[in-house]
Structure 1
Amino acid sequence: MSKPVYGKNAVQSRNAAKISGPVWALVVGFILFLFWTPFQVGLFNGQLVDFEKPIYVSALLGALMLLVWVGLDFKKFKLDEQRDLVAVFAVFLPITYALSLFVAVSHYMAMNMFFIQSMYAAVFIIALYLLKQKQVNVVIENAVLTIAYLIVGFGLLNWLGSGKLAGSLVGWFSNTVRNGKYLDAVMTDSNGLRLTSIFQYANTYAAFLMAFLFVAVFALVRSRKWYGTMTHGFMLVPIIVSLLLTLSRGGLVLLPVVFILLLLFLKPAQQILWIIHLGIAGLISLVITNQVTNLGIELNTAFSSSAALKGWGYLLGASVVVAGLGWVIQRFAAPWLQEKLGSWASRKWTGLWLPLGSVVLVGLIAFLLIGTSAKSILPGNIETRLENINFKQHSVLERFTFYKDAVKVVKDYPILGAGGGGWSALYEHYQNNPYTSRQVHNFFLQFLIEVGILGFIVFMGFILYIFYKYIRGYVRRDKDEFNNGFFFLIITLSILIHSLLDFNMSYAFMGILVFLGLAGMAAVMDSKPLRRNWNKAGLRLGYLAVITLGSLFLLFLSVTYISSSNAAVSAKRLMGVSQSYEEIKASLTKALKNRPTHPESVVYLSLMDQQVYNQTQDEQYLNESYSLVTRALKDEPYNKNLLNQLVAYYNLKGQKDLALAVYRDNADKFNWDIEWYSALISNSFALGQEAYNQKDSAKEQEYFKTGLAAYDHVVAGVEHLKTLPPEQLQGRPFSVTPVIALNAGKMQYMSGQIEAAAETLKLGLGQDYTDLNNREIARWYLAALKKNGGQDQAVYDQLIAAEPTEAAQIDEIVATQF
């Protein structure tokens, strides 16, 4: 066995070195940062003003901590081993996002991602150098575990009806508490009640729980103190029950995948212990899940102290049993297993037998829970979710569609990408069918879209190098030297694998955990010395100068963005309670001072200006509205709300031809938005009819051509949707609506396409002929038939019965020469 870089001598020297007070202060600040971030909806990058401020604050805190680190390590910092180069390389991650700003399809969303990536780089660099010190490493590990356990407890408090208590615990520092409760910690969708805890999204909470389930088992097996063993064993049941309450199929499918991968890193004795602990905790969790599920549903409908106590009784009782059994196993069985199987660890391939056996075991359990009556032990909602796990299920088919559409984006934005938030801005242009998803549901594809091949190579090179060097060192050394590193590997691997199927990394807190994990792995990876040239003063000071200037820039930028965000939030709040134009405008003006193209603020102020113009007819308000919107559209050309404001401006100016041009020129950006196409067709008909009345045949045909081309697009889309697999839902409504049928049918009729007009108008027929729109559709439909010598007697009789004068109006249309 080769002598490790981080051998016993290195460990002893690190332990001997006294850690200074300022370093401990930085550690405390870092831990408080980790505690604050999850309760801001996990720092979700929601691309709306409601979510943005915590992101800017986290970037500011990251910059401050990085400046503190530079001050502490300024004299000691060296570039003398490969690990230090990884810290240098981390700086290139935000740089790739900075480069993509030049080609970004949404400046606002791209800037948000720049803040997030800069914060990730800061977290990685700080954590890398802190975790190299064993004492600090242990403290941060314990802090991360404590935070994770608190999040699990927080979620269960909400599930068992104590939302007010949970809200009071975090309301003093979280902006997500409303009326005393943390928003949507438990939420209902088509699948029933689901536990989401801090994330407001069950699947990401499942990814978090999966990571810390394995971390808890690892900590349990590693612990040498009885209270450590009991604590980690106690938390297994709450974590597993919470995982089941998320109703996340992705979590249940990927959990065994990650479990088997992690087993490959363990010695045979440790593998057996992991399987035993998880098996016991899993079985006991299944026993109580039905009761806890039903009680949670009851308590979230109407609170009852007796039901809450019963629910906690099940949870705490089961947790105590598992904790006790865990202690017995670690106290008596673990030493015996280590003694009996210790010699196996040195034999080649022995570590593969249990993982391979686990594959068979997982398959058997899956068969029992999905294909047999054993599934009846599960609550009905969980049983239904398990039954629906297959490759022809809607969510699976839809994800494949996302991925195919994402590749289309990459082809058009290959080198630098489309900037942060590129998918969110562009997906309606590239989507195969009218789904609604501002996330790709695959972190790696989304990253590729945002920074292109160049940025993707940088990122993948960064994480793969760390994984390679970590694993290379792991397999060549005594495993006990890597307990701390394995803790961080579990977190990083679990979250990244789950992120293949979901948008966990859109929650920056999950990203923080990943980059913290990468730093923990890099701190103990196989790291060889560098050539002396790397450690020249110029390079070292240059790197620290870049870090310092970058941190100061990020600090300044964060402060300005926080100020702007505060003003935007204030304006949004005022719009709900105030009628004062001046008061609301003052906040919006402040919001736009440093971010003149902030989409929401521009839309709010433009809308108010247009409303005031309607009341006063003062052109200055309309001019301000136009100036705001056109400037914002230069940075946000795919923002539908801004485009609608531009349409509203042209309509107020009476420039309906320019309003139509906005709909026509931007139609391909929203290929499956039926409202956009309905407006395009309606405006085309209105302007065409106006041109007809003015005897302008050329204009009439031009407008009708535009409208009928849009109608053909709708018809083609409807036909395409018929080719979707029957198990896949189409998404938003997309069909030939009565309004579309009426306007397109009229244009076809007036263009001499009588037979086509009849077919189109028939698509819009309704049953209620007291409705004026239905009568108009039927009138033109019957006129088109009569023009060609046909008749639909049933429709005619119903129409005349509702309104006898319709017969004359039909004849009038037939007699008119268009």
Structure 2
Amino acid sequence: MSKPVYGKNAVQSRNVEKISSPIWALVVAFIVFLVWTPFQVGVFNGQQIDFEKPVYVSALLSGLMLLVWMGLYFNKFKLEEQRDLLAVASLLLPITYALSLFGAASHYMAMNLLLIQSMYIAIFIIALYLLKQKQVNLVIQNAVLAVAYFIVGFGLLNWLGSSKFAGTLVGWFSNTVRDGKYLDAVMTDSNGLRLTSIFQYANTYAAFLMAFLFVAVFALVRSKKWYGTLTHGFMLVPIIVSLLLTLSRGGLVMLPVVFILLLLFLKPAQQILWIIHIAISGLAALLVTNPLTTLGLELNTSFTSGAALKAWAYLLGASAIVAALGWAVQRYVAPWLEAKLSGMSSRKFSGLWLPLVSIVLVGIAAFLLIGTSVRSVLPDNIETRLENINFKQHSVLERFTFYKDALKVVKDYPILGAGGGGWASLYEHYQNNPYTSRQAHNFFLQYLIEVGIVGFIVFMGFIGYIFYKYIRSYVKREKDEFDNGFFFLIIALSILVHSLLDFNLSYAFMGILVFLGLAGMAAVMDSKPLRRGWSKPGLRIGYLAVLTIGTIYLVFMSISYIGSSNDAMKAKKLIGVSQSYEEIKTPLVDALKDRPFHPESAIYLSSMDQQVFSQTQDEQYLEEAYSVISRALKDEPYNKDLLKQLVGYYDLKGQSDLALGVYLDNADKFVWDIDWYETIISRSQALANAASAQKDEAKKQEYLTSGFDAYKHVVDGVEHLKTLPPEQLQGRPFSITPNIALNIGRMQLLAGENDAAAATLKLGFNDNYTDIVNSTTLWDTNWYSALISRSYELAQQAFTQKNDDSKQLNLKIGLEAYRQVTTDLQGQAIPSAITLNAGRIQFMAGQTQVAAATLKLGLSEDYTDATNREIARWYLAAQQKANTALDQDVYNKLIAADPAEIEKITEIASTSFQE
């Protein structure tokens, strides 16, 4: 038996080794996977039926490829060198995610992240051994570059108005194309239009562009063929322009950081070449970004072929010029630099001078662009983003808050972590203020939360070892081997560094790129022989057995989850088109068979059962709803929608005290959810009022206490928000709302605190209600009538002005006021003015059946009365809107009184008050 070959001879041996057809078939499958994945698998951060299936399909495909790899490499795989041991150690990463399941805050998300991590390791192991072969390595590099260049072109097609054409290119295999367009390839936020390409999130696209800008420069400098030089040079301007169009401050901040880090790996001549190419392409990109921004904004509003041609002329012209200049630099300047600086390259620390100079130059450039009027040469939207780069900017302050809150989670889940998706499940429990962010905006902190200290040490040790071995040995390796590894280092380093500020690795494709990068580095690292003990057949077979069992589990789990996801999607589609309970229920039951913890399926089925119970009063439906929800909550205790379904169950059972108990028991999970605390206060007031009517003083005090405690939490929260830095946004609304003021005021009346009740009322209402809350006759029927009337008028006005927030606020006031006045008037006639306005408010709120029932109570036989006719008009319109049978008797009497009412009824019924 021949001895294994290591070191330089091993490299030569691998390079001349003939690659078999099955290996090439695996390479092709691997490349197809890399092409397919970015257009299928987006960010996964919660209950998203539409996005979960591609994750499961990707996990399945990676598992199948790994099984094929094991078949091809079964005899070749030996535990003979450190690289082989790295393949063994990689299994620890998904194992740490499996261990985190024991304390997972969300079993659903933890299982999804376990599958994703398993997919990453499958990709790592396959790539680790494929990339050892130089020919395959180059093929995969070119494939990765081709995919990246296509993504850049795809994004620019969307920016320059050709979204339909771009959608056609990928629509046949992507599930993210809607109405012929890729979803949010160009998206709008508070900063205006931002380019996102396939990522639907501008900052992650910026991280991707940063990585492949440097890869393109590297490929340009390395290329020996004229067409390679021209191709990579041509792509520099589109990449930089795209980066600017993302409006990502994090991308602009991290770009020079990564650039300087990469320069440290290069010899002086290469450093100068990189700087030249970046400078030329950057200047050209800046010259055309302004017109491309203006034209892009125009084309996304209204497409014209003239504007599109003009934009493409700018872009392609600048790209062609830069490509030609890049070729000239490589053809004439590069050899001269190599000759002049060859002696300098051998000197110690010679590679440090240019990075140090670059730091100074970057500092000067940053000062000019951020601190002076030089930035005015940029488009207005980019200029504004640069102007706002500072440590007091709200997004920076928010990130610091995320990081502090993340450490609170780590403190409570220190060893094994909170499981995959731990931050998304728990952040509302730990947050300092009411922001909304299902991502911690720092990959490393988020990873620490998910797998705890044990898993974090494993992960950091894994990637740290690869970087250490690569960096330590790169100077000793053959140039081609180093270059092949450096290609992958650029990708991994760029994405990981940018992930200090964002959640790039929540995108499965970005995670795949990082683990592919790690594999590429490991494939060329200095891999020393292991001691003979590692080469025992038992260890090799044992590792392959564990890998086989784990992979088979991954495959079957993925197949099971794909089936469950298909059933859930089928049910979701049926809900929109079918009225058959059994037809919709069947796929939901099938979906929950394999995943009883699947939140959306459990919510759909429970909601249906509760609706059927409301119609039939058959207890079996209500018990099934309880069974489904209680089972799901065992694995998803932080799921707010599941908890609300449980509340609905108790309400239907007439157990209002238990429904309030759900809110009270889970209040600490949602400390800044004002709706949660508003509901606690509202329900406490209703139960306290009922206990008072029943002369149950103990219960009355219990409910008053729960309401007042919730109110104190809100008041304390409002005071805390005043301590935030003025530049930091508080996040979601959190204040003493009108409904809180109404209910706390009523509770204070029950407690005999009349003056406090009047004072509280004034805290919750804006100036539109000043005269009402300052009334000397609070809380009587006439006062409530005026309040309900005002809320309807303001809601109608807000609807006309298309101010949905104001409309919803005023509708809520009217609904709560009506609930309170009906409680006060139990057994007594409700004034017709209150009935009319309450019914109209319910109609506007989308509660058409409830509105019909309310309005019916206010009808009289006098159709000569204008108010009665209006009640009848809205009553019939509500029935028509709810698709229920019209009250023919009322209809005949109303039309007999005024035939013009037919058009008025139709007009009301056809108005959509819901946006």
Same fold (TM over 0.5): yes
Q: Given that residues 79 and 85 in structure 1 are in contact (C-alpha distance below 8 angstroms), is that contact kept between their aligned partners in structure 2?
A: yes
Counterpart CA distance in 1 for 2:462 and 2:608 is 48
Find the counterpart in structure 1 of residue 542 from structure 2.
Answer: 542
Following the alignment from structure 2 to structure 1, what is the Cα–Cα distance between the partners of residues 401 and 653? 42
1:560-709 alignment to 2 at 5 Å?
Answer: 560-709=560-709
Partners in 2 of 1:137 and 1:292 — Cα distance?
36
Name 1:740's counterpart in structure 2: 740
Residue 423 of structure 2 corresponds to 423
What residue in structure 2 maps to residue 492 of structure 1?
492
Q: What amino acid maps onto 1:33 in structure 2?
A: F
Q: CA deviation at 1:10?
A: 2.5
Deviations 1:652-671 (A, max 9, x none): 11100000000000000000
- The SS at the match of 1:193 is strand
What do residues 404-426 of structure 1 show as CA deviations (whole Å, max 9, x unaligned)? 00000000000000000000000
1:230: Cα distance to partner? Answer: 0.4
* CA pair 779-83 structure 1, distance change in 2 beyond 3 A: farther
Q: Which residue number corresponds to residue 330 of structure 1? A: 330
1:53-111 CA distances to partner (integer Å, 9 max, x unpaired)? Answer: 11101110111011001000111110001111110000110000001111101000000
CA-CA distance at 1:47 after TM superposition: 3.9
Tell me the CA shift for residue 461 of structure 1. Answer: 0.6
Matched-pair contact (CA < 8 Å) for 1:6–1:524 = no
Greater displacement, 669-678 / 302-311:
302-311
Q: Do residues 201 (structure 1) and 216 (structure 2) align?
A: no
* Residue 340 (structure 1) aligned with residue 340 (structure 2): yes
Deviation at 1:479, TM superposition (A): 4.8
Report matched runs for 1:471-490 at 5 Å: 471-477=471-477, 479-490=479-490
Q: Which amino acid aligns with 1:39?
A: F
Alignment of 1:404-415 (within 5 A): 404-415=404-415
Q: Distance in 1 between matches of 2:629 and 2:30?
A: 41
Matched position secondary structure for 2:145? helix
Task: Write out per-residue CA displacement over residues 669-690 of structure 1, whole angstroms, 9 at most, x where no aligned residue.
Answer: 0000000000000000100110
Confirm or deny that 1:211 pairs with 2:204: no
TM-score, with length taken from structure 1: 0.93
The aligned amino acid for 2:597 is T
Deviation at 1:157, TM superposition (A): 0.7
Residue 400 of structure 1 is matched in structure 2 by 400
Give the corresponding residue for 2:77: 77
Question: Residue 338 of structure 1: SS of its match in structure 2?
Answer: helix
Q: What is the aligned partner in structure 1 of residue 232 from structure 2?
A: 232
Aligned counterpart, 2:307: 307
**What does residue 816 of structure 1 align with?**
none
Mapped partners of 1:593, 1:624: distance in 2? 14
For 2:176 and 2:769, locate their aligned partners in 1 and report how far apart those are by CA, in whole Å: 49
Q: 1:87 to 1:751 in 2, by over 3 A?
A: same
Q: Counterpart of 1:63?
A: 63
Per-residue deviation, 1:588: 1.2
1:149 counterpart residue number: 149
Offset of 1:480 from its aligned partner?
4.8
Offset of residue 9 of structure 1: 2.6
Contact 1:45 1:507 in 2 (8 A): no
Q: In 1, distance between residues paired with 2:477 and 2:421?
A: 42
Cα shift at 1:8? 4.4
Correspondence for 1:164: 164
Q: Within the alignment, does 1:136 sit opposite 2:116 as a pair?
A: no
Deviation at 1:486, TM superposition (A): 0.3
Cα distance in 1 for residues equivalent to 2:305 and 2:583:
46
Aligned equivalent of 1:52: 52
Residues 678 and 739 of structure 2 are in contact (CA less than 8 Å); yes or no, is this contact kept in structure 1? yes
Supply the AA of the counterpart residue of 1:278: I
Q: Distance in 2 between matches of 1:780 and 1:554?
A: 69
- Provide the secondary structure at the position in 2 that maps to 1:300: helix
Moved more, 752-761 or 383-392: 752-761
Q: Does 1:730 align with 2:730?
A: yes
Q: Which residue of 1 aligns with 2:120?
A: 120
Distance 1:359 1:300, change over 3 A: same
Distance of 2:538 and 2:772 partners within structure 1: 82
- Whether the aligned pair in 1 keeps the contact of 2:46 and 2:424 (CA below 8 Å) is no
Q: Deviations over 1:309-363 (max 9, x none)?
A: 1111111100000000000000000000000001111101111110010011111
CA contact (8 A) 1:41 1:200 kept: no
**Contact 2:47–2:599 (CA under 8 A) maintained in structure 1:** no
Q: Which residue in the other structure is 2:96 paired with?
A: 96
Q: CA deviation at 1:475?
A: 3.6
Query: Structure 1 residue 593: deviation in Å?
Result: 1.5
* CA-CA distance at 1:544 after TM superposition: 0.5
- The answer to whether structure 1 residue 192 and structure 2 residue 192 are counterparts is yes
Assess if the C-alpha contact under 8 Å between 1:161 and 1:296 holds in 2.
Answer: yes
Asked if the contact 1:739/1:764 (under 8 Å) is kept, the reply is: yes
The normalised TM-score by structure 2 is 0.84
Indicate the SS of the match to 1:435: coil
Deviations 1:533-583 (A, max 9, x none): 101000000101111111111100000100111111121122222222222
Q: Which amino acid aligns with 2:27?
A: V
Assess if the C-alpha contact under 8 Å between 1:45 and 1:51 holds in 2. Answer: no
Aligned to 2:509: 509
C-alpha displacement of 1:136: 0.5
For the Cα contact (< 8 Å) 1:277–1:326, is it kept in 2?
yes
Query: In 2, Cα distance between the equivalents of 1:679 and 1:426?
Result: 21
Aligned residue type for 1:704: L
Residue identity in the other structure for 1:681: I
CA pair 479-352 structure 1, distance change in 2 beyond 3 A: farther
Would the alpha carbon gap of residues 132 and 481 (structure 1) be closer, same or farther in structure 2, given more than 3 Å must change?
Answer: closer
Deviation, structure 1 residue 280 = 0.2
CA RMSD of aligned residues (A): 2.0
The one-letter code sitting in structure 1 at the alignment partner of 2:520 is G
Q: In the TM superposition, what is the alpha-carbon distance from 1:46 to its structure 2 partner? A: 4.9
Distance 2:45 2:709 in 1: 38
Q: Which amino acid aligns with 1:282?
A: G
Shift of 1:375: 1.2
Q: Which amino acid aligns with 1:73?
A: Y
Larger displacement relative to structure 2 (760-769 or 673-682): 760-769
| Cα pair 1:43 1:54 within 8 Å, conserved | no
In structure 1, the gaps of 5 or more residues are 784-794, 800-805, 814-818
Corresponding residue of 1:760 = 760
Shift of 1:779: 6.3
The alpha carbon displacement at 1:43 in A equals: 5.6
Which position in structure 2 is the counterpart of 1:264? 264
Following the alignment from structure 1 to structure 2, what is the Cα–Cα distance between the partners of residues 229 and 780? 83
CA distance in 1, matches of 2:567, 2:779: 57
Which amino acid letter does the alignment assign opposite residue 543 of structure 1?
Answer: Y
Could you tell me whether the CA contact under 8 Å between 1:45 and 1:52 is conserved in 2?
Answer: no
